[in-house]
Amino acid sequence: MDAVDALNEIAFWLERELAPTFKVQAFRRAAGTIAPLSADELRERVADGRLKRTKGIGDRTFQVISQAVDGQVPDYLADLREKNAHPLAEGGDELRAALRGDLHAHTEWSDGTTPIEAMAAAAATLGREYQAITDHSPNLTVANGLSAERLAEQLDVIAALDTGSVQLLTGIEVDILESGELDQTPELLGRLDVVVASVHSKLRSDKATMTARMLGGIRDQHTNVLGHCTGRLVSGSRGTRPPSEFDAERVFAACAENDVAVEINSRPERQDPPDDLIQLALAAGCVFSIDTDAHAPGQLDFLAYGAARAAANGVPADRIVTTWPLPRLRAWLAPK
């Protein structure tokens, strides 16, 4: 098989199982190193040992490349394929099959790990109809949030891309500031297809303060999706974090009134909202968006986790905007 494809597929499977970033990047770096080489030149460099001495090629990646050049499916890739042969989560199969896209994902423009093109390619491979690119906004400096100038540049880059079968949607995960305002200019927010509004700071604020802040973000005319509403972490390398306190009935009533979707965040370390809040949002008449919050191509398969949780909570498919065909979704996303 093609050696570059083998290395990138290995990286995909490792990302899917949340392997350490340095391990994943070793395979993506090796793929980038050999990509400019013709098949004949790569074969020669493997045979005479030059490739093994090339910067960016380690023992494991050399073994993968050698086996691919010999016409084999590399052993390491075959093992990962077997290990990942089943869906990530049990349950929700019907709902997972109904999902057409994802409205929340990050690239190397902020705190993701790969270019926009790699995310688009993975979304296409997974059969997605559409994929939103929603990098962070300026306030989140720790995540290299996009200034107005960088966001405008990203829009031009996306417009120039040929992404084949998948439609890229322009977007942002914009911070809801302490004032309740959104962390980007109204002019730029108005140019985007999707605005996911999230709280990322002062998550331990008192209930009244957090409620007022969230209501401000929800009522902004540009907001389409309320992202990971409690901010909780239930596992993972960052440890655990309790959910924020807010008046969920008021917040979800505002989401329903302003036609803002409540995100069911599919990241396994988030599982946000908790089940009891999904039930409250359901009773309030909210629509939902099952999103991956992916920071790498392999994480785009996390939709399985969100689908399983939505199904377990009895969320109807028609109230999940990411099951909608693109024309219906675009009509819903249109400026209010």
Is 174 among the domain residues? Answer: yes
Residue 243 and residue 144 share a domain: yes
The pLDDT confidence band at residue 199, using thresholds 50, 70 and 90, is very high
Residues 221 and 271 in one domain: yes
Q: Are 304 and 87 in contact, with CB atoms under 8 Å apart?
A: yes
CATH of residue 36's domain is: 1.10.150
Q: Is the pLDDT of residue 336 over 90?
A: no
Distance CA(105)–CA(173), nearest Å, equals: 9
Mean of per-residue pLDDT scores for the chain = 97
Sorting pLDDT into bands at 50, 70 and 90, what band is 78? Answer: very high
Beta strands in 159-296 (DSSP E): 167-175, 194-198, 225-226, 261-265, 288-291
Q: Is the model's pLDDT at 291 over the cut of 80?
A: yes
Question: Percent of the chain having pLDDT more than 90?
Answer: 98
**Average confidence (pLDDT) over 66-78:** 97
Where does the pLDDT of residue 273 fall: very low under 50, low under 70, confident under 90, or very high at 90 and above?
Answer: very high
98 and 10 inside one domain: no
Q: Does residue 84 register a pLDDT over 90? A: yes
Q: Do 77 and 167 reside in the same domain of the chain?
A: no
Is 235 inside a domain boundary? yes
Q: Does 107 fall in a domain?
A: yes
Quick one: 35 and 184 in the same domain?
A: no
pTM above 0.85, yes or no: yes
Contact, 317 vs 323, CB < 8 A? yes
| Residue 237, pLDDT score | 81
Look at residue 5 in the predicted model and tell me its pLDDT.
97
The owner of tokens 């969920």 is 248
21-57 confidence digits (pLDDT tens): 999 999 999 999 999 999 999 999 999 999 999 999 9
The secondary structure of residue 135, as a DSSP letter, is: P
**3-class SS shares of the chain: helix, strand, coil, % to 5:** 50, 10, 40
pLDDT of residue 335: 85
Please determine, for residue 129, whether its predicted confidence score (pLDDT) is greater than 90: yes
The region, left, alpha or beta by phi > 0 then psi within -120 to 50, assigned to residue 164 is left
pLDDT at 238 over 90: no
Residue 239: per-residue pLDDT? 87
Q: What is the mean pLDDT of residues 59-80?
A: 98
Task: Check if the beta carbon of residue 166 is closer than 8 Å to that of residue 128.
Answer: yes
- Six token digits for residue 145: 């949030």
Q: Is 245 helix (H, G, I), strand (E, B) or coil?
A: coil
End-of-domain residue from the set 83, 101, 127: 83
Does 225 reside within a domain?
Answer: yes
Largest CA distance in the chain: 69
Q: Are residues 253 and 323 in the same domain?
A: yes
- Regarding whether 108 and 49 lie in a shared domain, the answer is no
Strand pairing class (194-198; 225-226):
parallel
Look at residue 42 and tell me if it is in a domain.
Answer: yes
Q: How confident is the model at residue 259 (pLDDT cuts 50, 70, 90)?
A: very high
Same domain, 209 and 288: yes
Integer CA distances (angstroms), 327 to 39, 74, 170, 260, 323, in order: 42, 42, 15, 18, 12
The first and second tokens of residue 66, run together, are 């050698």
- Mutual angle of helices 59-69 and 21-34, in 10-degree steps: 50
Domain enclosing residue 304, as ranges = 93-333
- 76 plus 106 within the same structural domain: no
Are residues 201 and 324 both part of a single domain?
yes
Give the CATH number of the domain where residue 112 resides: 3.20.20.140
Q: Tokens 């199982």, residue? A: 17
Share of the chain above pLDDT 70, in %: 100
Nearby residues of 232 by Cβ (< 8 Å), 6 or more positions away: 240, 241, 242, 243, 244, 270, 271, 272, 274
Q: Is the domain of 101 the same as that of 69?
A: no
Question: Token match 């949340």: residue?
Answer: 18
Q: CB within 8 A of 118, min separation 6: which ones?
A: 8, 107, 297
Report whether pLDDT(280) > 80: yes
Query: pLDDT by residue (tens digit) across 98-122?
Result: 999 999 999 999 999 999 999 999 9
In the chain, the amino acid numbered 165 is: S
How is the beta sheet containing 194-198 ordered, strand by strand? 101-102, 130-133, 167-175, 194-198, 225-226, 261-265, 288-291
How is residue 149 written in tokens? 């100038």
Lowest mean pLDDT among 49-53, 139-143, 237-241: 237-241
Written as one string, the DSSP assignment of 13-44 is HHHHTT--HHHHHHHHHHHHHHTTS-HHHHHH
Place of tokens 């390398």: 237
Q: Is residue 88 assigned to a domain?
A: no
Asked, for residue 99, whether it belongs to a domain, the answer is yes
Q: Is 233 helix (H, G, I), strand (E, B) or coil?
A: strand
The total number of structural domains in the chain stands at: 2
- Is position 218 within any domain? yes
pLDDT of residue 236: 81
Q: Which of 37, 65, 83 is the last residue of a domain?
A: 83
Q: Kindly report, residue by residue over 10-29, the tens digit of the pLDDT.
A: 999 999 999 999 999 999 99
Token pair 């490349």 is at which residue? 65
What is the model's pLDDT at position 89?
A: 95
Instruction: Quote the CA–CA distance of 301 and 16 in Å, as a whole number.
Output: 7
- Identify the domain boundary among 83, 107, 141: 83
For residues 204 and 73, membership in a common domain is answered with: no
